[in-house]
Amino acid sequence: MWALRWIFIAIIVLGVLFISYQNSADVDVRFLKWSLTAIPLYFVIFFSFAIGMISFLIIAFFNQMRHHVQVRKLRGEINQLNKKIIELGSVEADVEYENEKKDSEQENEVDDNNIPS
């Protein structure tokens, strides 16, 4: 799977480089009050691509952290529920033991009543 990821990244980078090479004209860039003149178009393309990748990585990092916290929370709930299952299992075993004890006592009483004296 990691090989496919690197192949995909390499294809994207090569595509950006190819497009950049084909677009080497100078352009003017204006952003709010700032203005840059005679910048090669490939630099603008590469810079925009880099900003997009950095933005994606930041967003992906925060999503990953959110999922990590959620997984830890759910694992904690699973552990608590497993402990409750174990506790209920031991309580159920105690109840079954008490019921068997009562049943055997009742059988002994019935047997004692049926014995002729």
DSSP per-residue codes, the chain: -HHHHHHHHHHHHHHHHHHHHH---EEEEEETTEEEEEEEHHHHHHHHHHHHHHHHHHHHHHHHHHHHHHHHHHHHHHHHHHHHHHHHHHHHHHHHHHHHHHHHHHHHHHHHHHS--
Backbone angles phi, psi at 114, to 5 degrees: -85, -10
In tens, the pLDDT along 1-24 reads: 778 888 998 998 888 788 877 877
pTM of the model: 0.52
In tens, the pLDDT along 64-87 reads: 999 999 999 999 999 998 888 888
Domain coordinates in residue numbering, the chain: 2-110
Q: Are 23 and 45 in contact (CB under 8 A)?
A: yes
Q: Are 80 and 64 in contact (CB under 8 A)?
A: no
